Amino acid sequence: MGKLHSQAMFFQARAAEKVANPILQRALQKAKPLFVGKRAKGIGALADDRLEFEQLRSACVDIRNRVLSDLDVWLDIFESQAKATGAEVLWAKDGEEICELVIDVARRHGVTKAAKSKSMLSEEAHLNEALAAAGIQPVETDLGEYIVQLAGETPSHIIAPAVHKTLDEIADLFTKTHGRPRQTDIPAMTREAREVLRQHFLSAEMGISRCQFLIAETGSAALVTNEGNGRMVTTLPKVHVVITGIEKVVPTLEDFATLMRLLPRSATGQTISNYVSLLTGTRRPGDTEGPEKTVFILVDNGRAKLLGSAYQEMLRCIRCGACMNHCPVYFSLGGHAYGWVYPGPMGSVLTPLFTGLENALDLPHASTGCNQCGSVCPVRIPLPKLMHQLREDQVTGGMRPWSERFALKAWAWVAGKPALYHWVVRRAARYLKWLADDSGRIRVLGLAPGWTVGRDLPAPAGKTFQELYAARKRD
Amino acid sequence: MSSRDDILKRVRAGVGKDDFARRKAVAEAYMAAHPRGPQPTLSNELATRFQAKAEYLSSTVEQIETMSDAPAAVARHLASLSLGVQAVATPDVAGLAWVAAGLDVSGRVAVDADKVGISGCFCAIAETGTLLLLSGPASPATVSLLPETHIALVPVSRIVATMEDAFALLRAERGSLPRAANFISGPSRTGDIEQTIVLGAHGPCRVHLIMVKG
Ligand code: SF4
């Protein structure tokens, strides 16, 4: 697990901590109705143009299934089209290789600063740490990612990375970092960040972005943002690196247009995002702007092995975030409780699949069985069914022996009692030992990332998370 | 084995099919047909729909009769917001009679100091109130990106219904994609501080669309 730095093993412990955090709870409670209401409005507006959600959904499912069932062919077509436009296409097996490739490209082009547009794959790879260690300054430019980077944290939501942060916390961060008088007016704070980040856009030699889709027909990257930072990092720096998963291919521009009728609506309720860019190759003859070098890094990191498996449907995911925006568990805990890059229902499926089922034993249990996620997913991924399948795999894999269940029941009992829990937290390293079975499997429980020395936390019992959640709800 | 070969080997194993050449031919035939998904039925005529959607997305919109009225319209707009008389323009519209309208307009790529950027557009999309701008020597992308105010000239004859129609036009007139095809829908925005929407994140804070009827 070392390479993946997953904290997903400690979901249950973190869950109790998050439920007890009033600042986090305030931030989440403010966000939830906004997310749900906006999506409902966006999807509802389809009827104005006589479009039907279910019909569009089926079309999106078909597009994604068409690609996945012949992914070898579509990757081949994408690669040759992208190369024909002058882009370089590289492949990375895992996060470590992503870092190596990016650093190598940076060195070849004398890069000292990289401006980044939100990229979850770069989180999978811990790219910022690797860049910094190689002497290259990474600057996150999506406002939410920037806030999270200043705080030394990781994103807690794939669309709204700083959803867990309150205005006051952000104001403090800006005051500390920007050395300007403290402001709490949101437009003024946005303005301040714009001014600071503009200088980074102009001075970075490399732009790093994700892309929502790879278009096979044209060899293009489709990049969707609202802030315009995606356009900045793909226009101003002399080198542009796109980091994306191998499953992101779609066949044609028309297929892309179909997916775009549901992606922004599902994510933020918008009919379209402010900026949708199709990026094809490099600076053309006569152009006086745009990158001189464009590099695609196509990443596996656990994706290929899902093809042909019981979990292939998960690869249809277009990362809209609707499943977490409608998840009662997510909104009780926030994204950090999930311990790895992807939170919410999609994370509860992806994290065990990408990092290993044995490393994320709690996550498939982070469900109330309400199927809100499944009913909003624009590509109809049966998330509760996949989580159920993962639980069965845990049982058949012998990952949940009785002794461990017993230990975790004991832990859940402690975690469910706030006063005792806090007492335990303060003395964790010393006192939690009594919870361990006689092989001493619990060494240090993961109460916070820094505390988590061991990784031998045993499996939780099937119901404990739900019991904990239900108990909190009754409070 | 290179990572490329290794990954593709795993993908092939997962896909579990061997007739690569036949499957590739099927894929190519699919691409050549570029079938469309469910299409919207727009209730208004295109220009009305475009304007309504663009205004909903916080752009301001006005209509003029012919392209030669554009410099005066831009001058009026800038004066009404006290934005001065200087602007950068994409070379494809830099040849209009700007000086006669009292403006100092230079046709080039934009730089950080530029406060106002004026562009044309390849076409516009009624369904979503969106502009499509294609990068190129005559239409650099920075003009619609770096300045705080973006003013776009939109010939009504270039408004199409959907993104799919825009792609059809692009294939017919250009054949291939430019380095950057940018679909722009209003001023840049963020909701990252407590989900409060603020206009003017990294791109323009104001987008003014001048629809040209003639
Ligand atoms: S699983 Fe579905 S709802 Fe969740 S992020 Fe992916 S596409 Fe969106």
Q: Are residues B17 and B123 in the same domain?
A: no
CA distance A245 to A304: 10
Q: What tokens does A427 get?
A: 């003395």
Q: Could you tell me if residue B41 is inside a domain? A: no
Whether residue B70 contacts residue B153, with contact meaning beta carbons closer than 8 Å, is answered with: yes
Q: Are residues B110 and B157 in the same domain?
A: yes
The CATH number linked to B177 is 3.40.50.10420
Phi/psi of residue B188, nearest 5 degrees? -65, 150
Residues 179-198 in B contacting A (C-alpha not used; CB under 8 Å): 179-196, 198
Q: Are residues B101 and B191 in the same domain?
A: yes
Ligand 1, atom nearest to A319 Cα: 5
CA distance B174 to A329: 50
Whether residue B110 contacts residue B145, with contact meaning beta carbons closer than 8 Å, is answered with: yes
CA distance B187 to B55: 11
Please report the number of interchain residue pairs, chain A to chain B, with beta-carbon separation below 8 angstroms: 265
**Closest Cα in chain B, distance from residue A396 (Å):** 22
3 state SS of A312: helix
How deeply is A416 buried, as exposed, middle or buried, from its count of CB atoms within 10 A (0-12, 13-18, 19+)? middle
Top CATH class, A2-304: alpha beta
Interface confidence, given as ipTM, is 0.97
pLDDT at res. A16 = 62
Taking the CA atoms of A28, A29, A32 and A37 in sequence, report the sign of the dihedral they define.
negative
CA distance A136 to A130: 9
The domain locations on chain A are 2-304, 402-474
Q: What tokens does A304 get?
A: 């290929």
Whether residue A118 contacts residue A210, with contact meaning beta carbons closer than 8 Å, is answered with: yes
CA distance A371 to A429: 38
Give the CA count within 13 Å in the CB-facing half-sphere of A160: 26
Q: How many domains does chain B have?
A: 2
Kindly provide the residue ranges of all beta strands, DSSP E only, lying in A233-354, ordered along the sequence.
239-245, 249-250, 275-279, 293-299
Question: Residues A399-441: pLDDT tens digits?
Answer: 764 444 444 444 455 455 454 444 433 333 232 222 222 232 3
Q: Are residues B87 and B180 in the same domain?
A: yes
Q: Are residues B64 and B164 in the same domain?
A: yes
Determine, for residues A246 and B38 on separate chains, whether the beta-carbon distance falls below 8 Å. no
Question: Residues A305-356: pLDDT tens digits?
Answer: 999 999 999 999 999 999 998 988 887 777 777 777 888 899 999 988 988 8
Determine, for residues A160 and B36 on separate chains, whether the beta-carbon distance falls below 8 Å. no
User: What 3 state SS string does A85-151 have?
Assistant: CCCEEEEECCHHHHHHHHHHHHHHCCCCEEEECCCHHHHHHCHHHHHHHCCCEEEECCHHHHHHHHC
Determine, for residues B137 and A309 on separate chains, whether the beta-carbon distance falls below 8 Å. no
Whether residue A124 contacts residue A117, with contact meaning beta carbons closer than 8 Å, is answered with: no
Q: Could you tell me if residue B186 is inside a domain? A: yes
Determine, for residues A274 and B198 on separate chains, whether the beta-carbon distance falls below 8 Å. no
Q: What tokens does A347 get?
A: 């994370």
- Does the pLDDT value for residue A454 go beyond 50? no
- Helix (H), strand (E) counts: chain A: 21, 10
CA distance B2 to A452: 35
Place of tokens 């990106």: B145
**Ligand 1 pocket mutation, candidates A346, A353, A385, criterion most atoms within 8 A of CB:** A346
User: Is any atom of ligand 1 closer than 6 Å to the C-beta of A377?
Assistant: yes
Whether residue B80 contacts residue B208, with contact meaning beta carbons closer than 8 Å, is answered with: no
A50 CB neighbours in chain B (<8 A) are 40-41
Kindly provide the residue ranges of all beta strands, DSSP E only, lying in B34-115, ordered along the sequence.
60-64, 86-89, 104-107
pLDDT at res. A24 = 72
Residue among A52, A60, A74 whose CB faces B27 most closely = A74
User: Is any atom of ligand 1 closer than 6 Å to the C-beta of A322?
Assistant: yes
pLDDT at res. A27 = 72
Question: Residues A113-170: pLDDT tens digits?
Answer: 999 998 888 888 999 999 999 999 999 998 988 998 899 888 877 777 888 888 999 9
CA distance B2 to B62: 57
User: Is any atom of ligand 1 closer than 6 Å to the C-beta of A374?
Assistant: no
Q: Are residues B27 and B52 in the same domain?
A: no
Question: Residues A50-85: pLDDT tens digits?
Answer: 999 999 999 999 999 999 999 999 999 999 999 999
CA distance B68 to B106: 17
Determine, for residues B181 and A278 on separate chains, whether the beta-carbon distance falls below 8 Å. yes
Whether residue A170 contacts residue A189, with contact meaning beta carbons closer than 8 Å, is answered with: yes
**pTM for the model:** 0.87
**Ligand 1 pocket mutation, candidates A64, A159, A379, A386, criterion most atoms within 8 A of CB:** A379
What's chain A's Rg over C-alpha atoms?
A: 22
Determine, for residues B37 and A261 on separate chains, whether the beta-carbon distance falls below 8 Å. yes
Q: Are residues B208 and B152 in the same domain?
A: yes
| Closest residue CA from atom 4 of ligand 1 | A323
- Least Cα distance to A305 among A238, A354, A367, A360 occurs for A354
Q: Are residues B203 and B159 in the same domain?
A: yes
Q: Could you tell me if residue B85 is inside a domain? A: yes
| Closest residue CA from atom 6 of ligand 1 | A317
Taking the CA atoms of A413, A418, A421 and A423 in sequence, report the sign of the dihedral they define.
negative
Residue B95 CA, distance from chain mean position: 21
* Domain interval for residue B20: 1-34
Q: Are residues B28 and B57 in the same domain?
A: no
Q: If you measure from the C-alpha of residue B132 to the centroid of ligand 1, how many angstroms do you get, rounded to a whole number?
A: 28
Q: Spell out the per-residue pLDDT of chain B, length 214, in tens.
A: 899 999 999 999 999 999 999 999 999 999 999 999 999 999 889 999 999 999 999 999 999 999 999 999 999 999 999 999 999 999 999 999 999 999 999 999 999 999 999 999 999 999 999 999 999 999 999 999 999 999 999 999 999 999 999 999 999 999 999 999 999 999 998 888 887 888 989 999 999 999 999 8
Which of B7, B122, B176, B202 is most worth mutating to test chain A (most A CB atoms within 10 A of its CB)? B202
pLDDT at res. A19 = 63
Which of B57, B170, B190, B196 is most worth mutating to test chain A (most A CB atoms within 10 A of its CB)? B190
Q: Find the closest chain B residue to A55 by CA distance.
A: B38
Q: What tokens does A21 get?
A: 């955090």
Helical residues (DSSP H) of A269-341, grouped into ranges = 322-325, 328-333
Which of B2, B11, B197 is most worth mutating to test chain A (most A CB atoms within 10 A of its CB)? B11
- Within 10 A of B149 (CB to CB), how many other CB atoms are there? 21
DSSP H or E segment with residue A241: strand A239-245
What one-character DSSP code corresponds to residue B69? G
DSSP states along A41-75: HHHHGGGGGT--HHHHHHHHHHHHHHHHHTHHHHH
- Does the pLDDT value for residue A204 go beyond 90? yes
Q: Are residues B15 and B52 in the same domain?
A: no
Q: What angle do CA A184, A191, B186 make, to 5 degrees?
A: 120
Determine, for residues B137 and A288 on separate chains, whether the beta-carbon distance falls below 8 Å. yes
- Least Cα distance to A272 among B185, B50, B164 occurs for B185
Q: What tokens does A374 get?
A: 């499944």
**Ligand 1 pocket mutation, candidates A224, A306, A319, A354, criterion most atoms within 8 A of CB:** A319
